[in-house]
Amino acid sequence: MTEATFTFRVDEALKAEFTQAAKAKDRTAAQLLRDFMRDFVQRQNEAAEYDAWFRREVEKARASADAGNLIPAAEVKAEFAARRAATRRRLEASD
């Protein structure tokens, strides 16, 4: 792995506090910054992957709805009313 220098400006007080906090964790500021950068890149990649997955799922659902694969609202309401009633019965039986 080749290394490059990354230079940026930061408030002197923040730099001093960060350096002190890093030392308290037996790490250098550079080690922590590399860790933070890796974590940030990983979170961005995961967010992009999730976004792509979510968009694919939405498109599948839209295509399914466009093809007429729909459940009438009354049927959905009846199904969940039955589930709620069954849950209430189980809760009452356990009292």
* Residue 13 amino acid letter: A
Rounded to whole angstroms, the Cα distance separating 1 from 13 reads 32
> What is the pLDDT, as a whole number, of residue 79?
97
pLDDT per position as a tens digit, 10-64? 999 999 999 999 999 999 999 999 999 999 999 999 999 999 999 999 999 999 9
pTM for the full predicted model: 0.68
